[in-house]
Amino acid sequence: MEKEPVVTLIDAFKVFKEEKSIDRPVMMGVLKDVFLTQIAKTYGSSDNFDVIVNVDKGTCEIYQNFEIVEQVENPNTEMTLEQVKAESGDDDYEIGDQYTKQIKLESFGRRGILNIRQNLAGRIMDIEKANVYKKYSEKVGQIFTGEIYQTWSKEVLILDEDGNELHIPKNEQIPGERFKKNDTVRAIIKSVEMRNNTTPYIILSRTSPDFLGKLFEQEVPEIAEGLITVHKVVRIPGERAKVAVESYDDRVDPVGACIGVKGGRIMGIVRELHNENIDVIPWSQNPQLLIQRALMPAKVSSIDMGSGPDDKVKVYMEPDEVRKGIGRGGCNIALAGMLVDRQIEVWRDLPKGAEEDEDVALDEFSDVIDQWVIDRLKHIGCDTAKDVLAFTQEDVAKRADLEDETVEEVFNILKAEFED
C-alpha cells in the first residue's frame, strides 16, 4: 500500500521529463525546488539536504547531511558518533565529521508525496502557460493558419498543433463570413493576454489592416524581397480597402506588381477577405497628392488642407464627380481620410458665376428633419441638400439604412427648398 504514492510521484516526474518545451536548466531547478519545499515542511528546514535530479532517467535522490557531535541538540542536523557507527557500520568517523545518508521517498508519507506531486503538476502548468505566452507574444503580427475546432455566436475557436487555444472574436471577423468546424482559416496574431492567471488568451484578427499587409507580403515576392514597401493599409472590413505602396526600383511598377498579371495576385487576397474591394495606389509623402490618388477614379478640382493638422480637409469636385469621390456608403472618402489621418469633406466645385448659396447645409433642416436622420446622411458623405439629391431615393435608403418613407419625406423637404 505504501508504494502507490511513490509510483504516482514517479509518473508525475516522467510527465515533467517528457515536456520537451521546458528548458533543461529550468526543469532541474523546478524539480529541485519542489522537493526542497516539501523537505522544509517535513523536517522544518532544508538547509542540510542535497537534492540530486537526473533528468534523463527521471529519478531524484535526496541526501541528509548530519554533523557528528558528542551530544545531540537537533536530531535533524546532528548525530552522535555511536549512532553513525551503528547505522553505517564504519568505524572511521570522528567527532566533527559530516555524515550523509540517503532519504527514501517513502519517508515523506502518503500525504507528503501527494503534495509533491500536486506542486510539481502546478509548476508544470505554470511553465506551460509562460511558454505559450512567450511563444505567441513573439509571433504577434504574423499570420497563423489553423483548423477551426468550434464555432460560437461570439467567437471562433482554433487549436494549434500542441492543443493551445486561439480565438477569433466576432468583432475580428469580416462581416458576412461564416465558418464551420474543420474549416482552414488564416488570420493575424493580434495580441496575447493573461486573464486572471489562466491560460494565455490568444486573439486572432481577420479585420486588422496588418492582416491585409501580411497577405500582400505573402502573395507579392517583390514586397518580401524589399523592392516594394507597403507604407499604409486602411480598411473598412468586408467593404473596401486601400493599400499605399512604393517601389525602390524604377524598373518595378509597385501597383502592377501587387495586382499581378490579369489580377492574378490580388484576386487571391480578395477571395481571402470575403470579396473585399482593394485599391492599390502609389504612395506619396505629399498628403494632397495621396488624397487625389486615393479618390480616383473621381477627378479632384482642388484641395484645401486648412491651416492646422486638426482642420477638416476640403476636397472640391465637379458635381458629376461627387458620387464617385464619396463612394458606396461613403467608403471611398472615409478611407482617403484614414490614409492621411484627417477628416475629409467633399465640396461641389460650382461653375464660375454660379451662386454659392445655391446649396444648403443639412443642419439648416434640423427643425423639419430629425437629427438622427441628418447624422445618417452625413455618415454616407452627404453634408448638403444637393449631396443627397444627387442620389436616387433607393440609393440613399440602402446606404443610410433608412426606411423608404423617411427618405421620400426627406427628398420632398429638400426639393421644396429649391422650388421657386
Cell of 101: 545518508
Same domain, 117 and 155: no
Last residue of some domain: 172, 207, 242? 207
Q: Can you tell me which residue has the cell 482554433?
A: 158
Contacts of 222 (CB under 8 A, 6+ apart): 228, 247, 252, 254, 257
Domain encompassing residue 92:
3-135
* Cβ–Cβ under 8 Å, residues 204 and 189: yes
Q: Is residue 109 part of a domain?
A: yes
* Cβ–Cβ under 8 Å, residues 155 and 168: yes
Same domain, 128 and 53: yes
Cα-Cα-Cα-Cα torsion 223, 228, 233, 239, nearest 10 degrees, comes to: -70
Cell of 344: 475629409
Q: What is the structure's pLDDT at 3?
A: 44
Please tell me what DSSP assigns to residue 350: P
Contacts of 164 (CB under 8 A, 6+ apart): 132, 136, 199, 200, 202
Contacts of 95 (CB under 8 A, 6+ apart): 68, 69, 70, 81
Same domain, 225 and 321: yes
* Cβ–Cβ under 8 Å, residues 380 and 399: yes
Buried b (16+ CB within 10 A) or exposed e, 205-217: bbbbbbbbbbbbe
Same domain, 100 and 184: no
- Report the CATH number at residue 403: 1.10.150
Spatial distance between the Cα atoms of 322 and 349, rounded to a whole number of angstroms: 9
- Report the CATH number at residue 44: 3.30.1480
What DSSP string runs through 38-88?
Answer: HHHHHHS--TTEEEEEETTTTEEEEEEEEEEESS-S-TTTEEEHHHHHHHH
Q: What is the structure's pLDDT at 258?
A: 92
pLDDT in tens, the chain (420 residues): 344 444 445 555 555 555 556 666 777 788 888 888 888 888 888 899 998 877 677 677 889 999 989 898 898 899 999 898 888 888 888 899 999 998 887 788 888 888 888 888 888 788 888 888 999 999 999 999 999 999 998 999 999 988 889 999 999 999 988 999 989 999 999 999 987 767 899 999 999 999 999 999 999 999 988 899 999 999 999 899 999 999 988 888 999 999 988 888 999 999 999 999 999 999 999 999 999 999 988 888 888 888 887 888 888 888 778 878 888 777 888 899 999 998 888 887 766 555 555 677 888 788 788 888 888 888 887 888 888 888 888 888 888 888 999 999 999 888 887 775
* Cβ–Cβ under 8 Å, residues 241 and 277: yes
Last residue of some domain: 90, 113, 135? 135
Count Cβ atoms below 10 Å from residue 101 Cβ, excluding itself: 13
Spatial distance between the Cα atoms of 317 and 297, rounded to a whole number of angstroms: 12
Spatial distance between the Cα atoms of 399 and 407, rounded to a whole number of angstroms: 11
Phi, psi (rounded to 5 degrees) for 393: -60, -35
Q: What is the structure's pLDDT at 26?
A: 76
Q: Can you tell me which residue has the cell 460560437?
A: 152
Q: Which amino acid is at 345?
A: E
Same domain, 297 and 411: no
Q: What is the structure's pLDDT at 139?
A: 94
Q: What is the structure's pLDDT at 1?
A: 39
Last residue of some domain: 89, 116, 135? 135
Spatial distance between the Cα atoms of 158 and 142, rounded to a whole number of angstroms: 16
Nearest to 268 by CA among 223, 202, 216: 216
Residue 190: which H helix or E strand, with range?
strand 184-193
Domain count, the chain: 4
Q: Is residue 354 part of a domain?
A: no
* Cβ–Cβ under 8 Å, residues 297 and 317: no
CA atoms within 13 A on the CB side of 92: 3
